[in-house]
Amino acid sequence: MGESKDFPFFMLDRPVEEKFLIRQDRLKSRRVGLVQYVVNHLRQLIESGAVGAGEKLPTEASLISDLQVSRSVVREAISQLQAAGLAQTKHGIGTFVSPASVQASDDLLGQLEASRAEVKWLKSRVEQLEELLTSAKLT
């Protein structure tokens, strides 16, 4: 009787082991979503400049309180930032934005600006060529 409350009706005829695995998959996918939520939040802080290179990220406790997630979710998110080279943890002190991550962002912005300038030049060149073709057709 109690298992009908825990599982939708279409799962009632499945073996208990299968029900458990399905529930674990759902919990795991929810946890992954929460981890990504925290990662995105911290990336936004870094990329917006709210937390600069070498500055301390919010503490685990403040992230747990502000984002309403568990400690394991916060720790996994910080681990992912470390793996991506965006953060460094100094045990007993805190987690800091990696100087290299800010430099990489600046490099990407520089490349983006150079690409925009190149696209602008290419557009003007295409317009010139179109004008030449149009005038050649008229003569």
Spatial CA neighbour of 42 closest among 86, 94, 85: 86
Residue 136 clears pLDDT 50, i.e. is over it: yes
Spatial CA neighbour of 68 closest among 34, 29, 25: 34
Task: State the fold for domain 1-97.
Answer: Arc Repressor Mutant, subunit A (1.10.10)
Structure tokens at 11: 């799962």
Give the tens place of pLDDT for each residue, 26-65: 545 455 688 888 998 998 888 888 888 889 999 999 999 8
Helix (H) or strand (E) holding 58: none
Full-model pTM: 0.54
Average the pLDDT over 2-23 and give the result.
50
Q: Is 72 exposed, middle or buried (0-12, 13-18, 19+ CB in 10 A)?
A: exposed
